[in-house]
Chain A
Amino acid sequence: MIEYSEKEGRMVLKLVYYGPALSGKTTNLLQLHDLLTRQGRGELMVLDTSGDRTIYFDLLPFFLTAPSGLKIKVKVYTVPGQVCHDATRKAVLQRADGVAFIADSNPSESHSNFASFDNLERNLALVGLDIETLPLVIQFNKRDLPQAVPEREIRATWDPTGVPVVLASALNGEGVADTFALLAGLVYDRIDARYALTGQHGLSRDRFVRQLTSLKEEP
C-alpha cells in the first residue's frame, strides 16, 4: 500500500499489470478507461513511449468513497514488458497491493510468458512482497488469435496453483473489466480485516468492486 492516513481519511492502493512485452498491458488500461464510467476514474496517463512501446509506465487512477467518508484511490499501473527495462519494473512493483499478470495466448510466446512470470517472482521477492499471499490474477489475453493456446492446456497448468485465470481479448474489450474486478475483489479480501473496511467504514466487498468497475451505460 502506498499510503494510508486515518486522520485524513485517505487510502491509496496500487495495482500493477505485469507480463511479457506486447502481451496487452497498456491495451487493458486503455480499454478500462473506455469501458468504465467517467465518474470514479481519473485520466489515463501514458508516459513517454519509444516507438509506441511503454518504457516507463501507464497510470489509470480510480476513486471511490466509503460510506464512512474514507477516500480510496486505486492507482493501476502497467510495467514495461521488454526484458531490458527490469529496473523500471522493479521500481513500479514496489509496495503493490495486487498484480494482474497479462499472458500472451500465442503459443510462440509461451516461453516469454514463463520468463516474465519467473521475473515477476524474482522481483516480488526483491521488493519484499510474498507471491504466495499477494493478490494475483492471470489474464490470458489475445483469445481472438486463431492459434491461441487451448483453454484446456491453460487450465491444466494454472488450476492446480489456485491462481484465478481470466480469458480475454483486450483489443475487443472482452475480459478486461472481469480481470480488474477479480483483482479488486482479491485486494479487498486482503485488506478488509486489517483496515476494517466492512466494520468501520461500511464498505462491503460488493460495493468496493462495483464502484470501481461500473460500466458505462450503453448509449
Chain B
Amino acid sequence: MSAQTLEFVVGAEKNLRELLLDSDVLPLLKGALQAGAGGARVVDEEGEELWGETDGGGRGELLARLPLYLEGEPVARLELFGSPAERDRLVPLASLLGVALDTVLRNNLKRVLTTEIHTSVVNSSHEELMRINSELAAGEARYRELAENLELRVKERSAELKRAQALMLQQEKMAAVGQLAAGVAHEINNPLGFITSNLHTLQKYAARCCAMLQFYREHVRVDPPARLVENAELKWRELKLPQVLSDIGDLMAESLAGAERVSRIVADLKGFSHVDEAGEVEVDLNQELERTLGVLSHQISGRAEVVKELQPLPPVNCQGQLPGQIFLNLIQNALTHAGAAPRITLSSCFDGERIRIGIADNGPGVPAGLRGQIFEPFFTTLPVGSGTGMGLAVVWEAVLKLKGTIAVADAPGGGADFIITIPAAKEGDRHLAEPVPKE
C-alpha cells in the first residue's frame, strides 16, 4: 500500500481505549451512580483506572468486580462500589452494567473491524481504479494524438510512396535503356568485326601490291624489256595478284555495307530515343513502331515472327521518347511471355477521332482476374528476381501522358492483345501522314 493509505493489518491487536470512547462508558457509569451506586470504574489488568465516576458522598465499599472480555480475552475489570446495605440491589446492577459494557465493546469491535476492512477494500479498489484510469487516460491521449496526426501521416506516407514509385519507374526506364544499349552494342559489334577483319586483309594485299611495284621498278632498270615481261608475269602469279584484285572489290563493298548498317542502327537509335529533341514533337506512331522493331531486331530476327497490319495514322504531339517506351516494353513483354515461337501482330488504325494501336502475341494471354493488376507497379507473374514488375507500369504512365488509355484483351486464337487508344491531334492541325518509307 502506498504512503497515503491507512496502514493496518486485519486482526492487529487493539486496546480498550481504542475501542471504547468516554461517551460510550461514562454515561453507563453515571447511570449506575443514579441507580444508587457510590462509585463505578473500569480498571485495566494492571489495576490502573481507565474510566471512573464517584458519587459526591463517597464511594463506599467494593461490592462487585467483573471481568471485561475482548475477543474472549479478559482485558479489564468493572468495579462497582456502594453501601453494603445496598448490596442485594447493586450487585445485580453491576451484572447489568457488565453486560451493557460487554455489548458496547463487542459492537464497537465489530464496527472497527468492519470499518478497517471496508477502508482497506475501498483504498485498494480506489488505487486500482486510479491505475486503470491513468492507463485509460494515457491510452486516450495516444489515440487522440494518433487521430490528430493520422491525416498528416497518411499524406506523408502517400508522398513517400509516390516518390518511391517515381524512383522505381525511373530505374525501370534506365534498365530498359541499358538493355537496349547492350542489344545495340551487339548489333554494331558484328559489322564492326568484319569491317576490321577485312581491313586487315586489305592491309596485307596492299603490301603485296607495293612489293610488286617495287619489283617492276628494280627490273626495269637492269633487265631488257623482253625478259621483264616474262619475269613480271611469273611474279604476278607468285603473288596471286589476280585473286587479290578480284577480292578487293568484294571486301570494299562488304565493308561499306557494314558501315552503312552501323550508321542505320545509330540513326534508328537516335530516332527511337529522340535524344536530339526537347519538348513536344510531332511523331508518327507507325514510324515509332518500326524504329522499335529496329532496335529490337537482335531479339526478333530468326526467333520471332512479326506481322504488321499498319494503316496510315495522323501525327501525335508528344514527348518523342514516350511511344518508344510504350512499344519497347509491350513488344519485349510479348517476346518474354509468348514461348518458344513468338508471333507478334502489330496493328494500327485511325477511326477519325482516335488512333488505335494493337500489340498481340500468341502466348498464354492474361487471365481475366489479373487484368486489373498488371499495370500496377511491382506486379509480376515472373519468378522472384526475374521481373521487376515495372514494365507495364512504365507503359501505363507513358500512355497516361499521351492522354490515352490501355487495356488488355484476348487476342484472336489465344494470347494477349494490348490495345492502346490515343486521341489524335486537334481538328485544326490534323492531317494524314505519309506512309512510312521502307528503309
Binding site for B on A (CB under 8 A): 2-3, 12, 14, 41-43, 45, 47-48, 56-57, 59, 61, 63, 73, 75, 77, 87-88, 90-92, 94-95
Would you mind naming 10 contact pairs between A and B with Cβ atoms under 8 Å apart?
A3-B12, A3-B13, A45-B109, A48-B110, A87-B124, A87-B125, A90-B124, A91-B121, A92-B11, A92-B117
The CA of A12 and the CA of B70, in the complex, are separated in Å by 14
Given A3-B13, A48-B110, A91-B10, decide whether A43 and B117 contact each other with a Cβ distance below 8 A.
Answer: no
B114 within 8 A of A: yes
Please report the C-alpha to C-alpha distance between residue A77 and residue B72 in the assembled complex, in whole angstroms: 15
- Return the contact of A56 from the options B69, B73, B109, B117 (Cβ within 8 A): B117
Describe A's contact surface by its main secondary structure: mixed
Q: Which residues of A contact B432 (CB under 8 A)?
A: none
Which B residues are in CB contact (< 8 Å) with A77? 10-11
- In whole angstroms, how far apart are the Cα atoms of A170 and B125 in the complex? 33
Q: How many Cβ-Cβ contacts under 8 Å join chain A to chain B?
A: 66
Which residue of A has the minimal Cβ distance to B119? Answer: A91
**How many residues from B make CB contacts under 8 Å with A?**
19
Chain B, residues 120-139, CB within 8 Å of chain A (1/0): the string is: 11001100000000000000
In the bound assembly, the distance between CA atoms of A3 and B12 in angstroms comes to 7
Identify B9's interface contact among A45, A48, A61, A95, CB under 8 A. Answer: A95
Contact across chains for B110 and A43 when beta carbons are under 8 A apart? no
Q: Which residues of B contact A92 (CB under 8 A)?
A: 10-11, 117
Question: Do A43 and B114 touch (CB < 8 A)?
Answer: no
Contact in complex: B114, A45 (CB < 8 Å): no
Roughly how many angstroms separate A3 CA and B8 CA in the complex, as a whole number? 12
B35 interfacial contact with A, CB 8 Å: no
Which residues of B have CB within 8 Å of A14?
11
Q: Cα distance A144–B124 when bound, in Å?
A: 39
In the complex, the answer to whether B9 meets A94 with C-beta atoms within 8 Å is: yes
A88 touches B121 (CB 8 A): yes
- B89 to chain A minimum Cβ distance, whole angstroms, is 29
Complex contact A42–B73 (CB within 8 A): yes
Beyond contacts A12-B11, A48-B110, A94-B9: 17 other A-B pairs, Cβ-Cβ < 8 A, are A3-B12, A14-B11, A45-B110, A47-B110, A47-B114, A56-B113, A59-B11, A59-B71, A61-B71, A61-B73, A73-B13, A75-B11, A77-B10, A87-B121, A88-B120, A91-B117, A91-B120
- A117 to chain B: closest CB distance in Å? 21
Pair A42/B72 contact, Cβ less than 8 Å: yes
CB contact between B73 and one of A3, A63, A88 (< 8 Å): that residue: A63
Query: Are B109 and A94 interface neighbours, CB within 8 A?
Result: no
- The CA-CA distance from A2 to B10 in the complex, in Å, is 9
Q: Which residue of B lies closest to A76 (CB)?
A: B11
Whole-angstrom distance between the Cβ of A159 and the nearest chain B Cβ: 33
Chain A residues near B71: list those with CB within 8 A. 42-43, 45, 59, 61, 73, 75
Chain A positions within 8 Å of B12 at CB level = 2-3
User: Is B120 in contact with A48, judged by CB distance below 8 angstroms?
Assistant: no
Complex-state Cα separation, A56 to B71, whole angstroms:
17
**Docked pose: A92 CA to B12 CA in angstroms:** 11
* B9 pairs with A73, CB closer than 8 A: no
Cβ of B24 to closest chain A Cβ, rounded Å: 18
Bound together, the chains give a CA A63 to CA B73 distance in angstroms of 8
Chain B residues, Cβ within 8 Å of A41: 72
**Using Cβ atoms and an 8 Å threshold, which residues of chain A touch B11?**
2, 12, 14, 59, 75, 77, 92
A87 to B5, CA, bound (A): 15
Contact B114 A56 (CB under 8 A): yes
Cβ contacts under 8 Å, B117 to chain A: 56-57, 88, 91-92
Question: How far is the CB of A204 from the nearest CB of chain B, in Å?
Answer: 24
Residues of A within 8 A of B120 (CB): 87-88, 91
Q: Once bound together, how far apart are the Cα atoms of A3 and B121, in whole Å?
A: 22
Across the interface, which residues of B come within 8 angstroms of A94, CB to CB?
A: 9-10
Per the bound structure, the CA–CA distance linking A48 and B118 in Å amounts to 12
Which 6 pairs between the two chains have the least Cβ-Cβ distance?
A42-B72, A87-B121, A91-B120, A43-B72, A61-B71, A87-B124
For the complex formed, measure the closest distance between the CB of A131 and the CB atoms of chain B, giving whole angstroms: 19
- Shortest B248–chain A CB gap in Å is 106
- Which residues in A have their C-beta under 8 angstroms from that of B113? 45, 47, 56, 59
